[in-house]
Amino acid sequence: MIALVEIIAALFVVVTDADINQLRSTAPMYLKTDAIADQHLRAARAAAFVTGTDADMLLAIAHHESRYVVTEATPETNGYSCGVMTPEPTQAKGACLLATSSMAAGYFVGAAHLAGWLRACNGRVRCALNGYAGGYRLIRFCAEHEKDRRCTTPDVFLQRARWIRGSTSGTRRSRSTS
């Protein structure tokens, strides 16, 4: 599946110079060159296409979780969250190697994880983003304590996705996150 994402990213995803410049404007400290921004746009758009998720949301999550670092390995209490989108903690070294093996792999693993939460939450984006950030425990907690600061992660993701969406012209959106 990752090879398919890489093929789609390389051959079929359209990225304009304006898209690149505008995405870079949302995170100039982390997207230092046009080539890096282009790669992130292509990988996110291809992963979004394959998984039916929103490319702008994938980019927003990647910014929040790793500041666009493909080889990120964040220590967690029960292992490591790895890759550009650090989707879920794992103790299995192989899973970490997959998520950090390429930019396309990192976006695909994260997009597949988000797609799973969107299915589990019947398309409710806030629920899915809470699930992405903290699993069912955070979903249950935030259902009862919506105003608690631990429940603001969806707001962070949604705000950055809107910023990215306003900055990029060619991003495809799925029905599940629009």
Question: How confident is the model over 59-70, as a mean pLDDT?
Answer: 97
Residue 177 counted as domain residue: no
pTM, entire model: 0.88
Residue 176 counted as domain residue: no
Question: How confident is the model over 81-109, as a mean pLDDT?
Answer: 88
Residue 90 counted as domain residue: yes
Q: Which range among 36-45, 70-79, 112-121, 159-168 shows the weakest confidence by mean pLDDT?
A: 159-168
Residue 174 counted as domain residue: no
Q: Decide if pLDDT at 5 tops 90.
A: no
Q: Decide if pLDDT at 176 tops 90.
A: no
The domain tally of the chain equals 1
Q: Tell me, what CATH number does 163's domain have?
A: 1.10.530
- More confidently predicted of 111 and 97: 111
Residue 151 counted as domain residue: yes
SS3 letters across the chain = CHHHHHHHHHHCCCCCHHHHHHHHHHCCCCCCCHHHHHHHHHHHHHHHHHHCCCHHHHHHHHHHHHCCCCCCEEEECCEEEECCCCCCCECCHHHHHHHCCCHHHHHHHHHHHHHHHHHHCCCCHHHHHHHHHHHHHHHHHHHHCCCCHHHCHHHHHHHHHHHHHHHCCCCCCCCCCC
Residue 178 counted as domain residue: no
Residue 175 counted as domain residue: no
Parent domain of 68: 2-167
Q: Decide if pLDDT at 28 tops 50.
A: yes
Residue 172 counted as domain residue: no
